[in-house]
């Protein structure tokens, strides 16, 4: 109500307050910040009244009841979730086991814990559950009852896949995770990681479908919901992203791993205030607060929400914990420059590495160091792959050239995936194709030097991504009836043709007369292989004129082999027409 000019209140001038679950959640969080647990519980109960089908609201209420020591009431809420709201929230059994243990009802705690181990597909509290089981064995003075740990199915392979993800070996991780998911369809942690692997490789549609499979089995899966929100943001679906973000913003996870996932997700979605609150909560946990990257994440959230003094404090702490890293000093320097210039806030990435441009400056001291760093550091590798997908055209071109120096299987797979991406400029796809060809040529030459007499192995995996006319030239040249049983014939064709295209880039001529180019290519390779062949013979085989063969052969020769050969048998131009 507002006061009118004569000092009385006007009952018609009322500002309505919309009572929603979010409204009461915000009130509850504020009460928690002031340690007013009674008020927090009151507001969480109201949130449940407004959204009775939302299991998160019930879990928040159960958590407060447990914090205040009302373990019986907390378990009643948890049991209600499992029986009436969302039976798939198997983590409630773990929370119930904790409550029973606090009440010294160890038999019931064991029963709830065994149920959790047998039913939970993700194993998100597996380590804590095993520690609690040891405590219960001690309290009960007997071994624990045998149980089948559902989340252990495929765990060894899953851990290996996680290691591959952390090392930046995304293609290998995808292969292993696909096998795990095929054998264990309800292994949701593996599905979530598979979705992330797809995402890091730029296979966004596949990543989104995989998350859909997770949420179909477990609609309340926090990792899946967080990943889906990020995917929505990537594809520009702001309506679905905001709807999902509203739900996530009122979530208060029990487990610190979930807190970390939610914090990083909120940061990526631009909800820096919420991210900052969750990261600060993580810093109070002894299992997390020794990690310098966590201080960077907290500093990033602080800086992105305008808390520059706090950001400086957290980056200084990161520098103490990680004195060899250049990352905290870089951002501290950015803060100092911003203050001197009086500029607006800097946008800080939550990734614990330098921004891409600065990273290249740091690594480009020499090519050898760049290659070594990128091969060993998965964060750097990931930033290259990310920039290949999301950078501006100049950055993407720089990345393609950089990846050509690294030249390993992951790089090859990333470039092949890039070629399949619609909407990329043709000149960038040309650069990627030729980088792949240079890598293939270099690898083949190494193999030939080490195994000179071993039959060549055909390697055409790159060819489907060439321009159709480039591929057609090579296919027609390979059909030459004079190749006989020469095992190196086709490989020599590939080497010479890819070498010519690479050297000519970006000024590759229009390849219209594919028969003429194929005849010239076959003629040159025949000469290199010591065959007695003439322009007339090559022309007859491909249905073109001898002058056409001569003209195209000279173009290839002048680009790829301008110096005369010391052996006339291999010189293609000793013959006169």
Q: What is the 3 state secondary structure string of 72-125? A: HHHHHHHHHHHHHHCCCCCHHHHHHHHHHHHCCCHHHHHHHHHHHHHHCCCCCC
Bigger pLDDT: 285 or 465? Answer: 285
One fold for both 21-150 and 153-254?
A: yes
Kindly list the domain boundaries of the chain, sorted by start residue.
Answer: 21-150, 153-254, 455-577
For residues 276 and 305, the answer to whether their CB atoms sit within 8 Å is yes
Cα–Cα distances (Å) from 564 to 326, 422, 550, 573, in that order, read 51, 44, 17, 9
Q: Which two tokens stand for residue 75?
A: 């378990």
pLDDT(201) > 90: no
**pLDDT grade, residue 263 (50/70/90)?**
very high
**pLDDT grade, residue 79 (50/70/90)?**
very high
Q: Which fold has domain 21-150?
A: 1.25.40
Residue 2 pairs in a beta bridge with 10
Q: Which class is domain 455-577?
A: mainly alpha
**pLDDT grade, residue 67 (50/70/90)?**
confident
Task: Name the region of 123 (left: φ>0; alpha: ψ -120 to 50; beta: rest).
Answer: left
d(CA 279, CA 295): 8
CATH of 153-254, one of 3.90.79.10, 1.10.238.10, 2.60.130.10, 1.25.40.10: 1.25.40.10
pLDDT(353) > 70: no
Q: Which two tokens stand for residue 392?
A: 């501006």
List, in order, residues 6 or more apart from 72 with CB less than 8 Å away. 99, 103
80-94, 148-162, 260-274, 353-367: which range is least confident on average? Answer: 353-367
pLDDT digits 0-9 by tens, 485-534: 455 577 778 778 887 887 776 677 778 888 888 888 888 888 776 676 78
- Give the closest residue to 326 by CA, choosing from 267, 289, 284, 373: 373
pLDDT(122) > 80: no
Residues in the chain: 577
d(CA 434, CA 443): 14
Q: Which two tokens stand for residue 532?
A: 């007695």
pLDDT(442) > 50: yes
Give the pLDDT confidence score for residue 391 in this predicted structure: 67
9-23, 38-52, 172-186, 226-240: which range is least confident on average? Answer: 9-23
**Average pLDDT for the chain:** 77
Give the pLDDT confidence score for residue 295 in this predicted structure: 93
Cα–Cα distances (Å) from 493 to 435, 441, 528, in that order, read 18, 11, 10
d(CA 96, CA 113): 8
Mean pLDDT of 328-343: 77
């Amino acid at each position: 109500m507002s006061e009118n000019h004569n000092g009385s209140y006007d009952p018609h001038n009322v500002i309505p307050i919309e009572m929603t679950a979010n409204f009461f959640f915000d009130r509850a969080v504020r009460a928690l910040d002031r340690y007013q647990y009674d008020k927090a519980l009151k507001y969480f109960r109201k949130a449940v009244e407004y959204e009775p089908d939302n299991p998160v609201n019930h879990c928040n209420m159960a958590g407060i009841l447990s914090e205040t020591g009302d373990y019986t009431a907390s378990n009643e809420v948890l049991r209600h979730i499992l029986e009436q709201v969302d039976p798939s929230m198997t983590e409630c059994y773990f929370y119930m086991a904790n409550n029973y243990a606090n009440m010294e009802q160890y038999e019931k705690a064991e029963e709830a814990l065994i149920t959790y181990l047998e039913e939970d597909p993700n194993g998100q509290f597996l380590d804590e559950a095993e520690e609690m089981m040891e405590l219960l064995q001690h309290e009960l003075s007997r071994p624990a009852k045998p149980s089948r740990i559902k989340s252990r199915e495929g765990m060894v392979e899953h851990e290996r896949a996680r290691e591959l993800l952390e090392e930046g070996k995304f293609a290998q991780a995808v292969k292993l995770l696909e096998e795990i998911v095929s054998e264990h369809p309800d292994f949701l942690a593996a599905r979530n990681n598979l979705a992330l692997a797809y995402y890091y490789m730029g296979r966004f549609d596949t990543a989104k479908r995989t998350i859909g499979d997770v949420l179909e089995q477990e609609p309340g899966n926090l990792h899946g919901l967080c990943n889906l929100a990020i995917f929505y943001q990537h594809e520009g679906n702001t309506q679905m992203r905001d709807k999902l973000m509203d739900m996530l913003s009122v979530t208060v996870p029990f487990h610190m791993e979930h807190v970390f996932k939610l914090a990083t997700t909120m940061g990526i979605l631009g909800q820096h205030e919420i991210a900052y609150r969750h990261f600060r909560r993580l810093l109070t946990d002894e299992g997390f607060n020794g990690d310098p990257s966590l201080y960077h994440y907290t500093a990033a959230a602080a800086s992105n929400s305008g808390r520059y003094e706090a950001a400086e404090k957290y980056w200084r702490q990161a520098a103490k914990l990680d004195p060899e890293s250049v990352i905290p000093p870089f951002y501290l320097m950015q803060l100092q420059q911003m203050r001197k210039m009086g500029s607006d806030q800097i946008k800080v990435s939550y990734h614990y590495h330098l921004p891409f441009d600065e990273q290249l400056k740091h690594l480009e001291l020499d090519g050898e160091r760049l290659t070594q760093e990128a091969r060993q550091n998965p964060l750097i590798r990931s930033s290259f792959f990310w920039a290949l997908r999301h950078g501006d055209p100049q950055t993407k071109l720089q990345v393609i050239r950089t990846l050509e120096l690294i030249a390993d299987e992951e790089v090859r797979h990333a470039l092949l995936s890039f070629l399949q991406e619609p909407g990329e400029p043709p000149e960038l796809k040309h650069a990627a194709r030729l980088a792949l060809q240079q890598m293939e040529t270099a690898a083949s030459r190494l193999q030939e030097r080490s195994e000179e007499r071993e039959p060549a192995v055909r390697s055409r995996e790159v060819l489907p991504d060439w321009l159709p006319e480039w591929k057609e030239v090579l296919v027609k040249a390979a059909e030459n009836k004079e190749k006989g049983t020469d095992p190196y014939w086709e490989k020599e064709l590939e080497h010479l043709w890819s070498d010519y295209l690479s050297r000519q880039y970006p000024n590759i001529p229009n390849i219209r007369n594919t028969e003429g180019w194929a005849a010239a290519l076959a003629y040159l390779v025949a000469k290199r292989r010591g065959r007695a062949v003439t322009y007339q013979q090559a022309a007859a085989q491909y249905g073109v004129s001898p002058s056409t063969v001569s003209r195209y052969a000279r173009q290839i020769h002048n680009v790829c082999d301008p110096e005369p050969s010391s052996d006339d048998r291999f010189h293609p131009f000793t013959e006169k027409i």
